[in-house]
Structure 1
């Protein structure tokens, strides 16, 4: 009987951990989505030009060396003129292979007047990729953890 009780407690803690982990990821995803939505609603807009592509290899961890995820990715370097007349240059936050943009391509730029150096390309990946990477698995973990908790609760009440 004591072993069964320990098993139940362990399952409760694991379920709580899954829900907590998911809630943390979901919160980060929602914060990032809020920042993107705020930039879309209140940010300044400008036309920019991709002046070059910066090819970079970013190793995610020592376990993944020589993996396909370590292939170089092209990050667009964009030049635009902010509302104050200053010429600005920034590197896009999302790299890809094949490149999403080509040198000389015109793009829409979003930035805050008080921090134009933190500009972003007005595109799906630049605005919504990180919120989806965090919010999607977070939502899934919260949903699965909650469903497991409800099933466990029903079973314990029935017993």
Structure 2
């Protein structure tokens, strides 16, 4: 009976180890894809000077039930206005928000946009361009590395 429990424990640990490696590889792949998307965007993005015309405050963090949690704080998203190369004034809300706000009303910012779709603009800032690729890549690298390290230690011990 004791042998049977031990075999099940080994099997469960093996599945957890391979699950960590697989999940980490998936997160790492998503991080690499996001990095490629950002690099592609940067390679043919047009640049323009923009101005922060407002801060849009939102309560973004909600629990699984959809209710606002007690410790949530509102996040400020800069609303930026710029003129694209075709002479049209454009306005967009940045995809990256923070608290405390990274920008204030009236701040001048560099805007990046594609010439064929200037409505899909981004502020040229670290968070709006690189935060998601770094988060996914870092979590993926951590999970894959931990799972691989556990596998190597187990192999070394046996």
TM-score (norm 1): 0.89
Match for residue 142 of structure 1? 144
Deviates more, 1:116-125 or 1:39-48: 39-48
| Secondary structure of 1:103 counterpart | coil
Distance 2:5 2:157 in 1: 17
Which stretches in structure 1 are left out of the alignment for 5+ residues? none
More helix by share: 1
Question: Is the contact made by 2:31 and 2:137 (CA closer than 8 Å) also made in structure 1?
Answer: yes
Please, which of 61, 64, 85 is the counterpart of residue 63 of structure 2?
61
User: How is 1:20-35 mapped onto 2 (pairs within 5 angstroms)?
Assistant: 20-35=22-37
User: How is 1:7-156 mapped onto 2 (pairs within 5 angstroms)?
Assistant: 7-62=9-64, 65-68=68-71, 70-156=72-158
Question: Is the contact made by 2:62 and 2:69 (CA closer than 8 Å) also made in structure 1?
Answer: no
Deviation per CA, 1:38-63: give whole Å up to 9, x if none: 22222111111111111111133246
TM-score (norm 2): 0.90
Distance 2:37 2:117 in 1: 14
Deviation per CA, 1:2-23: give whole Å up to 9, x if none: 3322222111110011111111
The count of aligned residue pairs is 155
What is the RMSD of the two structures over their aligned residues, measured on CA atoms?
1.6
Question: Is the contact made by 2:61 and 2:69 (CA closer than 8 Å) also made in structure 1?
Answer: no
Distance 1:82 1:33 in 2: 25
Which stretches in structure 2 are left out of the alignment for 5+ residues? none
Question: Is the contact made by 2:49 and 2:82 (CA closer than 8 Å) also made in structure 1?
Answer: yes
